[in-house]
Amino acid sequence: MGTIKLNESEYYRKIYGGWLGKNIGGTLGYPVEGKMELLNLTYYPQLSEGPLPNDDLDLQIVWLHALEQYGVRLTAAELGQEWMEHVFFPFDEYGYGLANMRRGLVPPVAGWFNNPFTDCMGSPIRSEIWAMITPGCPGVAAYYAYQDAIVDHAGGEGVYGEMFFAAIESAAFFESDRDRLIQTGLTYIPAECRTAKAVRALLEWHKEGKTWTEARELILKHHGHPNFTDAPQNIAFTLLGWLYGEDFGDAILKAVNCGYDTDCTAATLGAILGIILGPEKLPERWLKPVGDRIAVNAPIKGFPIPETLDELTARTLRIGKEVAAVWNIPIEFGAEKSSDELPPELIDYYDPRWLWQYSFQANRYLLPKGTRNNLGLELIVDYGAQGPSIGRGQKKEIAVTLINRSTETWEGLLRLAVPEGWQGLAEETLHLKPDQELSWKLQIVSNEEMKPYYPLQLEVVRHHDGHFWNAETVPFYLVSATHWKLRGPADSEWQAAVLPGNRIDFAGVLQTSEAGVYRAATTLYIPESRQIRLITETASPVKAYLNGKLIIQDDQETEFMPAFHRATPSKLAELKLPAGEHLLEIEAEKGDTPLDLFVLPVSLKYTKTPGPYFFYADVLFT
């Protein structure tokens, strides 16, 4: 394979243009985020001194710090650690993913378990950093995007949306043809996923000569979703602006005027066009209000944040050169003119599609610890469809697989350590030849004590010459399930239910979906006196009683929004509770539509330090 040349000044110019475009689009779309009607903006609806802060850029600054902190071979595990340390956002999938990681879970399980927002835009909006450090190598960009997205979107369309955009943006450092770039993005996502279907449908409608407003209506009709942050519809709106826009400003305006997740659609399209055009071709009327400044939200904290886009660009470029060296990407940085086109062999340099085979219900570990290349042992811990939760006195099965990727036979023992008072497998004999795979079903039984989370440990003991040689230990966690009593409309008796997360699955437990009043009861354990936002989120009419007192009553059908920060106001209560046990009783009235109910204990908006509406992981449903 030949070497492709990338002029270092040109590389800097395109990175800078991408960050500028990101800032412009985010500042344009942020004030109208969530408006779901057709809009008619012609310029920024709100201007301040510089750009408006936006999580679209905030999180990528965190990822840049992660690359500097952990090195360019980082994975979802390190990104999860970085998130817990520096990101205190409660928004939708962010809040659920963070709640899981705070209890010891790691991606992808942490990004999937108990998370109703995995199909949303939180990860597609942070694709640019991976493209900027992998110019002209879309496969590597998509690999990084996957590692990022499974932190809080595992198993959902958010993963494919980020891989799609990262591949496009990476290729855009050498390729400017819009249609070829979109096809490059489609290469790295499954053809049957909702995102790919929405993109292909939009391309067909554009080819048929539909107007942009007609295309918008067709997107909503065939690929729309009531949640304004759903990824497939918003990714299609982003591309709509690109397909129908006559210039930079018209393109980002059309994307925003589609409505829905407007800061995301405009910011991503602005970044793509900024990479292609470079800063000098971005219109002054759009550039001047945002300038070179960076605005970051207060819940992003704990590390040196770049003050300007110039500093951000310089740091991004340094990491990009390191990525090329570590991945052995055949790019030569220098003063010579950049290559005119992207050769197919660089597009095909790395294929990340093998990642699709991995289950989001399982965590994968490489041994020995710290290994980055899979040349030793591969350990897979599969929690199953119910995820990593366990109730009081409950039996759980965990599937464990060991694969020997080395050239030596591994002999010894597999041991499982469980919390005191639990029952579990003591040990299994291990004899694993090169390329051999062994699996076990580990049976675990918890005791009656409930805690927010439970530490366990797998130990792979290696023998040499029949004697102990060394041991590799892998800690992992289970979290507390929720205990309820449930009754359906025709039931005279309560039925006990142990549920894996915060969703009450009436239909699954009671095996009925008839219309009528459904009831749920539990005891909330509050470890210390505190202010709490108690959410009973459902689209159905609902009442909630705490210790016999009515605290929530909503007789109307509403939007279903099980988010910590934007739950339906009439379906939550904010109150101060003393430490101890509190009886919670809920009545939900089911009509013709399915009954979904999430019960969520979170903090209030105003907290001592930036980071509101965080999940109270230590509140137990006993």
Helix (H) or strand (E) run with residue 326 in it? helix 309-326
Residue-wise DSSP of 123-161: TGGG-HHHHHTSTT-HHHHHHHHHHHHHHHHTTSHHHHH
Q: Which residues have C-beta within 8 Å of that of residue 206, sequence separation ≥ 6?
A: 215, 240, 243, 244
- Contact assessment for residue 377 and residue 402, using Cβ atoms and an 8 Å cutoff: yes
Q: In this structure, are residues 376 and 405 in contact, taking their beta carbons and an 8 Å threshold?
A: yes
Q: With 0-12 CB in 10 A as exposed, 13-18 as middle and 19+ as buried, what is 191?
A: exposed
Q: Which distant-in-sequence residues (6+ apart) come within 8 Å of 271 by Cβ?
A: 18, 19, 21, 22, 25, 128, 169
User: Does an H or E element contain 10, and which?
Assistant: helix 8-29
263 a known binding residue? yes
How many CA atoms does the CB half-sphere of 618 hold within 13 Å? 9
- H-type alpha helices, 113-247: 128-132, 138-153, 157-171, 178-187, 194-207, 212-223, 231-244
Task: Tokens for 512, please give them.
Answer: 């009925």
Residues 6+ away with beta carbon under 8 Å from 34: 228, 260, 261, 262
Characterise 259 by phi-psi region: left (phi > 0), alpha (psi -120 to 50), beta (else): left
How are the residues of the chain apportioned to helix, strand and coil, as percentages rounded to the nearest 5? 35, 25, 40
Q: What values do phi and psi take at 593, rounded to 5?
A: -95, 160
At residue 338, φ and ψ (nearest 5 deg) are: -65, 150
Token duo for residue 463: 């023998």
Strands 395-404 and 437-445: antiparallel
Token pair belonging to 335: 């003063």
Q: Are the beta carbons of 546 and 522 closer than 8 angstroms? A: no
Q: Using an 8 Å Cβ cutoff, are 364 and 401 in contact?
A: no
Residue (of 546, 532, 518, 519) closest to 600 by Cα position: 532
Q: Please answer whether residues 543 and 612 qualify as being in contact, where contact means their C-beta atoms are separated by less than 8 angstroms.
A: no
Beta bridge partner(s), residue 554: 542
For helices 262-277 and 55-70, give the axis angle rounded to 10 degrees: 60
**119 annotated to a ligand binding site:** no
* Binding-site sequence positions: 261, 263
Which residues are annotated as part of the binding site for Mg(2+)? 261, 263
